[in-house]
Amino acid sequence: MNTSKIYSMHTTKSENKDEDINFQPTTSSQVYGARKGTKETVLYTEETIPQRKKRCFSCPPQGIVNNIMTSGVIYFMTWCLLWLLSGPEVLPGGNLFGLVIIFYSACLGGTLLELIRIPAVPPLPPLLGMLLAGFIIRNIPSISKHVRVPRKWSSTLRSTALTIILIRAGLGLDPEALRQMKGICFRLSFGPCIMEACTAAVVSHFVMDFPWQWGFLLGFVLGAVSPAVVVPSMLCLQEAGYGIEKGIPTLLIAASSMDDVMAIMGFNTFLNLIFSKGSILNNVLSTLWDVFVGVLVGAVFGFFVQYFPSEDQEKVPMKRAFLILSMSISAVLGSQHIGLHGAGGLFTVVLSFTAGLKWAKEKTRVQKLILNTWNIFEPLLFGLVGSEVSVSSLKTNAIGTCITTLCLAVCVRILSTFAMMCFAGFNFKEKIFIALSWMPKATVQAVLGPLALETARLTAPHLESYSKDVMTVAFLAILFTAPNGSLLIGILGPRMLSHHSQPQAP
C-alpha cells in the first residue's frame, strides 16, 4: 500500500466530537484508511472522504460580518475621541463633523460598490462609490445643511492628495522600461494628452463660450489618465500573462505617470496665465522658472534621500516614506505661499523618481507605505469632489454642453492614441486595446477641477462661472470614463491581447 495516499486516522472520540460539523466529499482518488481500535479496513472513495465545510453564520461572527462590525466600532470610537477632544466641532454643523461624515460616507460608498459583483464583468472602481457618496450628501438638503467643510481645509486636503498622487507617479516610473520603450512611451504620454487638451479647448470655446485660456485649462484637466484605474487593471492582466510578451502592461503603467505630469504642468501654466496680472511673456518666463526650480531642487533632495537614512539603520523604508511625504507636502503647500505654483509638483515627481533609482527592491516597501497613506486620502478626495457639485446651481443647458465637450475630447484622445501606436510593433487588436485603455479619468481630475474653482473664489469671483463648468466637466469625466474604462480593460484584455504563460520554476 502506498503510504503517501493514507489519510490520517480518525478515532471514535474525534468522530463524536465533530458530529456537528458539516462535511463535503473531496475530489481525490481512492485511498485506504484504517480506524484505530478496530480490525476493519475502510475504503474511502471520492464520494465518501469527508472534508470540513465552513459555516456561513457562526457565533462569534466571522468574515465579512465581523469586518463590517469591527469597522463600525472603530469609526464610532474615532468619533467619540474627536468629540472628547474638540467638543462641538464634531456635532452637526461643526467643521470636523462635516469632514468625518464625508469620510465615512465615502468609505461606505466605496465598500458598497466593491460588493457589487456581476458575473463575467470586472469589478467597478471603488472611487466611483466615493464620488457618488459626496454628491448625494451635497444634494440632499436635510443633510447638506449640517455638513460643512471649510474651504481652506478642503483645499489643503486636495493639495495633499495631489502630492501623494505625484509621489506614486514618480516612484512608479520604471527607468528600465523607459530606456527600452522610450520612443513609444513618450509618444503615449504626451501625444494623446496634448491632442485632447487642444480638442477640448476648441470645442469649449465654440460650444460653452469659454475664452481660449479657460478652454486650454479645461483641456489639461481632462488630459490626464487615471493611474488609480489603469495601474491595478494592468497588473491583473500582467499576472494573468496577457500582453507581457510585447510589454503592453508595463508600457501603460510607465506612461500613465508621465501623462499625469504633463497634464498637471499644462494646467498650472494656464492657471497662472488666467489669474496672474502680468503680461503673457512674464507668465511664460515665470512658468519656466518654476520648472527649473522644481527640477533642480527636487534632484538635490532626491540624491539626499538616496543615502539618508543609511542601510544600517532600523525601519529604513518607514523613514524614507516619511521623508518623501514630508518634503513633498511641504514643497507643494509652501510653493503656493511664495508664488512658485508649478515648482512643488515637479519637485515631488523628481524627488521621488531620483530617490527610487538607488533603492532597487526596497522601493516596493516604500511604495506600500505611500499606498497606505493614499488609502486614507482617497475617500476624502473623491468625497469632497462629489460634495462640490450641486444640481441646483447648474444651468439648464450646462449638462448637455459639458457632455458634448467631454465626449468629443475623449473620442479624439482614443483616435490619437491609436495613431500614436502605429508603426510601434503592435497588431490591430492591441492598438485598439491600448487606445481604449487610455480613456479612464479620475484622480487628477478630482484634484485639478476643484483647484480651479477654489482659485477663482479667492482671487477672481467674476470668473467663478467658468470654474464651475470646469468642475462639472471634471465630475462627469470621472463618472463616465472611470467605470467604463475599467470594464473595457477587464473585458477586452483577455480577448485582444496574446496570452503568454509565465515560465515555471523547476
Say whether 47 sits in a helix, a strand or coil: coil
Q: What is the pLDDT of residues 405-442, one digit of tens each?
A: 999 999 999 999 999 998 888 999 999 999 999 999 98
Distance CA(327)–CA(351), nearest Å, equals: 9
Q: Which long-range contacts (CB under 8 A, 24 or more apart) does 183-186 make?
A: 183/424, 184/251, 184/421, 184/424, 185/251, 185/254, 185/255, 185/258, 186/258
Q: Which of 365, 360, 356, 403 is nearest to 173 (CA)?
A: 356
Ordered structural domains, the chain, with CATH: 3-44 (no CATH), 63-138 (no CATH), 141-496 (1.20.1530.20)
491 burial class (0-12, 13-18, 19+ CB within 10 angstroms)? middle
Q: What is the pLDDT of residues 437-448, one digit of tens each?
A: 999 998 888 888
The grid coordinates listed for 333 are 503647500
C-alpha distances in angstroms, 198 versus 166, 219, 266, 457, 479? 24, 6, 11, 26, 22
Say whether 360 sits in a helix, a strand or coil: coil
The grid coordinates listed for 396 are 439648464
CA torsion through residues 460, 461, 462, 467, sign: positive
Distance CA(99)–CA(56), nearest Å, equals: 36
C-alpha distances in angstroms, 26 versus 16, 31, 102? 21, 12, 48
Q: Which residues of 169-201 are buried (b: 16+ CB within 10 A; e: fewer)?
A: bbbbbbeebbeebeebbebbbbbbbbbbbbbbb
pLDDT of residue 356: 86
Q: What is the pLDDT of residues 187-200, one digit of tens each?
A: 898 999 999 999 99
Contact 485, 433 (CB under 8 A): no
Q: What is the pLDDT of residues 337-358, one digit of tens each?
A: 887 777 888 899 899 989 988 8
Q: What is the pLDDT of residues 227-242, one digit of tens each?
A: 888 888 888 888 888 8
Tell whether the model's pLDDT for residue 4 goes beyond 90: no
Confidence of residue 396 (pLDDT cuts 50, 70, 90): low
pLDDT of residue 413: 94
Confidence of residue 202 (pLDDT cuts 50, 70, 90): very high
Q: Which of 372, 260, 366 is nearest to 305 (CA)?
A: 366
Q: If you write DSSP's letter for every residue of 294-353 in order, what string do you get?
A: HHHHHHHHHHHHHHSS-TTSSSHHHHHHHHHHHHHHHHHHHHHHHT-TTHHHHHHHHHHH
**pLDDT: is 34 or 202 the higher one?**
202
Where do the H-state alpha helices sit in 181-245?
Answer: 182-207, 212-222, 227-240
How large is the angle between the packed helices 182-207 and 212-222, nearest 10 degrees? 140
- C-beta atoms surrounding 380 within 10 Å: 23
Average pLDDT, the chain: 81
Work out the average pLDDT over 139-166.
85
What single DSSP character describes residue 278? S
Contacts of 105 (CB under 8 A, 6+ apart): 133, 134, 136, 137, 383
Distance CA(93)–CA(116), nearest Å, equals: 33
Q: What is the pTM of this model?
A: 0.76
Q: Which of 384, 399, 338 is nearest to 161 (CA)?
A: 384
Confidence of residue 28 (pLDDT cuts 50, 70, 90): very low
Contact 464, 455 (CB under 8 A): no
Rg (CA), the chain: 27
Contacts of 449 (CB under 8 A, 6+ apart): 221, 385, 388, 470, 471, 473, 474, 475
CA torsion through residues 417, 422, 425, 428, sign: positive
Distance CA(239)–CA(335), nearest Å, equals: 40
Only one residue has cell 478515532, namely: 11
